[in-house]
């Protein structure tokens, strides 16, 4: 077990390069198995979820070769193997194997997803989509058995906007007979990224990034090469870190349009954000930050994955801010840990009422990926003492080279080995 040690109080300065998007990679890797020949993905993030997914595909018979930020997946000898337990339980995004295996083989037995534990992630909209395409779905002792003699296109209206369900239905429908229309589809950039890969593999998908996606099923798909989009959650986290430490940081490898909700809130608080062609620069002043109200919503709203990091920044504002999460109402497990650092935060339903004030060092524990980022940000703001953050395995699921990047920006942060105790 490892822990992060942070001696805060240092403004971050310099340039940081962003890797490919975690939320794209965990969908693109299973999407590759729909091809009959090798798929190469560039700009791959070096995160633990990618390593686990690589192992899963090898267990299914794929040849997976990885070098630096490039992965080559040859699924030509892939077998339909039941995976009710084991590595799939380690991933929240393992459900993408359902749509991919269903599209490729007409069947899938996949264990229900694991990963971060901030809130159960229902897959009822995924199941609704599979059943509309002609599949039978049965829950067998915590694993989903999905079978279809033939997948046929359908019109599917999602009751709630769901990134996972939108992608899963796209995967299965790409190999279905006839036309599929997904209404009330999610619009996140990762949806467009997956559709771009699938189209390069021979799929026929239109409307990705809008609320209506149209898919014409194809009989076969082939390999290709694809570059993963930048990780907008990483970008937002470094933007928030720069503001929280009163720094001056340029984040490179960015699509600025993806960051509009974060940029707007940082500017509202009083930070300067400069948008460049493929970078953003965050410049802080010594003036007190203004309190703001933040609502985590579906894209293009403020991302729920940045709600936890934003909580830490709002402790640095001069006044009371309200942060509400309309995606995951229980995603506040970082709040008791921030309270150990002296944060004045009150929870009311889906909202956190945050009164700004200085934080102090403490021993805290990350209970999920983004909560971990929030605690690192909090530790970076503390001017006295050393903050210890355990639960590093969650942070490693979504932030590659975090310690190295922060050290290059001037932070005093390092890893230490610890016992299993908190």
Contacts of residue 248, defined as CB under 8 A and 6 or more positions apart, other chains included, come to 11, 12, 13, 242, 281, 282, 283, 284
Q: Which residue has the tokens 């359902």?
A: 98
3-state secondary structure of 213: strand
C-beta separation of 352 from 378 below 8 A: no
Question: Are 172 and 133 within 8 A, CB to CB?
Answer: yes
For residues 336 and 339, give the distance between their C-alpha atoms in angstroms, rounded to a whole number: 5
- C-alpha of 415 from chain center: 23
Taking a C-beta distance cutoff of 8 angstroms, is the pair 347, 332 a contact? yes
Report angle CA 67, 69, 105 to the nearest 5 degrees.
Answer: 80
- For 27, half-sphere exposure in the C-beta direction (CA atoms, 13 angstrom radius) is 28
Please provide the DSSP assignment of 292-336 as one string: -EEEE-STTSB-GGGHHHHHHHHTTBSSEEEEEESS-TT--THHH
Per the structure block, which two tokens stand in for 70?
């490039």
Sheet of 204-206, strands arranged across: 155-157, 179-183, 212-216, 204-206
Catalytic residue ranges: 116
Which residues neighbour 184 within 8 Å (Cβ) at sequence distance 6 or greater? 157, 158, 159, 160, 161, 211
């Amino acid at each position: 077990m490892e822990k992060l040690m942070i001696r805060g109080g240092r403004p971050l300065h310099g340039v940081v390069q962003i890797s490919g998007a975690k939320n794209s990679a965990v969908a693109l890797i299973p999407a590759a198995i729909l091809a009959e020949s090798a798929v190469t993905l560039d700009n791959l993030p070096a995160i633990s979820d990618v390593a686990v997914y690589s192992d899963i595909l090898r267990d299914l018979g794929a040849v997976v070769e990885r070098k630096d930020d490039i992965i080559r997946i040859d699924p030509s000898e892939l077998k339909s193997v039941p995976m009710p337990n084991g590595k799939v339980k380690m991933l929240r995004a393992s459900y993408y194997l359902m749509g991919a295996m269903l599209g490729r083989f007409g069947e899938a037995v996949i264990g229900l997803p694991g990963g971060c534990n901030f809130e159960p992630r229902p897959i009822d909209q995924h199941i609704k989509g599979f059943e509309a395409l002609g599949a039978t779905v049965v829950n067998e002792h915590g694993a989903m058995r999905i079978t279809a003699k033939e997948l046929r296109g359908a019109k599917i209206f999602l009751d709630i906007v769901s990134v996972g369900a939108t992608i899963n239905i796209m995967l299965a429908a790409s190999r279905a007979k006839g036309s599929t229309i997904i209404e009330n589809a999610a619009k996140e950039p990762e949806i467009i990224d997956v559709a771009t890969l699938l189209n390069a593999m021979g799929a026929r998908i239109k409307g990705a990034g809008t609320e209506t996606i149209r898919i014409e099923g194809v009989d076969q798909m082939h390999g290709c090469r694809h570059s993963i989009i930048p990780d907008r959650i990483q970008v937002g986290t470094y933007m928030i870190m720069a503001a929280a430490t009163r720094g001056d940081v340029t984040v490179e490898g960015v699509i600025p349009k993806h960051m509009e909700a974060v940029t707007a809130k940082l500017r509202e608080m009083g930070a300067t954000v400069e948008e460049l062609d493929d970078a953003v620069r965050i410049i802080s002043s010594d003036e007190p930050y203004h309190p703001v109200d933040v609502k985590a919503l579906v894209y293009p709203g403020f991302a729920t994955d940045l709600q936890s990091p934003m909580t830490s920044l709002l402790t640095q504002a001069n006044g009371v801010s309200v942060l509400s999460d309309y995606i995951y109402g229980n995603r506040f497990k970082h709040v008791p840990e921030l309270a150990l650092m002296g944060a004045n935060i009150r929870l009311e339903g889906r909202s956190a009422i945050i009164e700004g004030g200085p934080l102090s060092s403490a021993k805290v524990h990350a209970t999920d990926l983004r909560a971990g980022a929030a605690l690192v940000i909090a530790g970076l703001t503390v001017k006295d003492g050393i903050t210890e953050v355990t639960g590093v395995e969650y942070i490693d699921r979504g932030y590659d080279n975090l310690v190295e990047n922060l050290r290059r920006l001037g932070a005093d942060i390092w890893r230490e080995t610890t016992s299993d105790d908190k």
